[in-house]
Structure 1
């Protein structure tokens, strides 16, 4: 996690560094602008600027002290991934967005591009329009926020289109731009990813602060895990017998559940700890 502290109060900077040990510090707004042009950050902590600055979300130290329950301690970008279909990614995304505290602003980015629409759109009963393909026509900040679906007052969704051809021009840079825009408004950004490994998926994984892999603990999944070039957390849902042999071999950080919906509190604690 990369955090920039913007303050001319050295006591404030000291307190902020107690929470964000590896954070950089800028003593003025002008210095912050220079640093933001040279380096990417996840968000800003400041007593000088409010709400957003140069496209980055701004946090207050007091916000960290008030957090309770299922609440991330920082701005999180969570990529939900799997090495095979039918393991429960859609269920996890749905239960995650519904379990976070109501004052946490959440954006779900659905990158499951399939003809006929995605499982998430069906599960949440979303309208066909708008979708990510509509933003790609203009690629502007205004168009981005206009094409989000408000699922709940604190939850927005950038949904997959009904046809894959509608996003045929999407690039890795578009994923980076989605992240830049999303960070200015949302506390938690969730990528719902297909069980593929292409340049778009890789761009989402590169932007994630945490990658959560769902698995049934099959031999084929472990073979792909071994080649996966990222650190990740694994949630096993009713895994096959003998899965612990592979877990030990790959030194995985994992949680085992029998029902994602009923055990979502334990899963959230595992993910956000």
Structure 2
């Protein structure tokens, strides 16, 4: 990701560097135009330019953490993935959505299908119904919103069903429609994904604006990462000692945390 910061305000530049530490900096529009003519940037962050410069779009600099709450960019689709089970992915999803500001409308979609119900349903103590299988019977926008669980005033859940038979016919286009319907009402959509890689998971990853992968840093996980065809941020929670050797080999973008609260800034501000 290549970012250009355009500002003559030292405080603004310092704040922008907290989010985009490897960004280039220009102190004037004139020098910025020269830099843009010589190098391609993904976007600009600036307090001097409103919409675009040299054909490069300008993004507003988001506010940093406010206490334990953070404000993400709007209309995010965040896929939370892992390359093996038992890495704390569902706990991370819970910490993630509960850390958002209360005026952010959030939908959590649980695709961890298994007989007996998912970890997220147990963790949140959700009722057995409604669930995604009930939406799949009709596949309409009305059915989609009718089968969401209102977990709190700003958070809704489309939970996994108690039995695999309820979702045996789910298709990639069903995921695409879920994202399309959800975007009409929600600011952030978070997918809790299984650690397998199938066509439904691929549809989520294709539609995601950010992909976060949790890992313990095992050799087996790195073997799967090597074949993973997406750009992603890896969050290591107490990884194995040799993990840095593999990180270097794969040139991974990563964060090591002792608890999941530390990783939230990276989820929203690293691309």
Shorter-chain TM-score: which interval?
A: 0.7 to 0.9
C-alpha contact 2:105 2:185 (8 A) present in aligned 1? yes
Partner of 1:114: 114
Partner of 2:265: 269
Q: CA deviation at 1:132?
A: 0.4
Structure-1 separation of matches of 2:192 and 2:62:
29
Q: CA deviation at 1:15?
A: 2.8
Q: CA deviation at 1:257?
A: 1.1
Q: CA deviation at 1:73?
A: 2.3
- Asked whether 1:135 is paired with 2:135, we answer yes
**Residues 65 and 215 of structure 1: is their aligned pair in 2 closer, same or farther, counting only changes over 3 Å?**
closer
Q: CA deviation at 1:214?
A: 0.3
Matches within 5 A, 1:56-205: 67=63, 69=65, 70-205=70-205
- Asked whether 1:256 is paired with 2:252, we answer no
Partner of 1:209: 209
Partner of 2:223: 223
Structure-1 separation of matches of 2:257 and 2:61:
31
Structure-1 separation of matches of 2:246 and 2:164:
36
Structure-1 separation of matches of 2:238 and 2:63:
32
Question: Per-residue displacement from partner, 1:230-250 (whole Å, max 9, x unpaired)?
Answer: 110000010000110111111
C-alpha contact 2:62 2:71 (8 A) present in aligned 1? no
C-alpha contact 2:113 2:164 (8 A) present in aligned 1? yes
Q: CA deviation at 1:268?
A: 1.0
- Asked whether 1:241 is paired with 2:237, we answer no
**Residues 124 and 248 of structure 1: is their aligned pair in 2 closer, same or farther, counting only changes over 3 Å?**
same
| Structure 2 residue runs without a partner (length 5+) | 1-48
**Residues 150 and 270 of structure 1: is their aligned pair in 2 closer, same or farther, counting only changes over 3 Å?**
same
Q: TM-score, normalised on structure 2?
A: 0.76
Say how many residue pairs are matched: 216
| Structure 1 residue runs without a partner (length 5+) | 1-13, 24-60
**Residues 65 and 217 of structure 1: is their aligned pair in 2 closer, same or farther, counting only changes over 3 Å?**
closer
Structure-2 separation of matches of 1:218 and 1:106:
32
Structure-2 separation of matches of 1:247 and 1:66:
29
SS at 2:71's partner residue? coil
| Larger Rg over CA atoms | 2
- Asked whether 1:15 is paired with 2:50, we answer yes
Structure-1 separation of matches of 2:56 and 2:154:
29
C-alpha contact 1:213 1:232 (8 A) present in aligned 2? yes
Structure-1 separation of matches of 2:151 and 2:103:
14
Structure-2 separation of matches of 1:158 and 1:119:
13
C-alpha contact 1:87 1:216 (8 A) present in aligned 2? yes
SS at 2:138's partner residue? coil
Q: TM-score, normalised on structure 1?
A: 0.76
Question: Per-residue displacement from partner, 1:154-202 (whole Å, max 9, x unpaired)?
Answer: 0000000000100111100000000100111111100000010000000
**Residues 21 and 127 of structure 1: is their aligned pair in 2 closer, same or farther, counting only changes over 3 Å?**
farther
Structure-2 separation of matches of 1:180 and 1:237:
33
C-alpha contact 2:212 2:235 (8 A) present in aligned 1? yes
C-alpha contact 1:67 1:73 (8 A) present in aligned 2? no
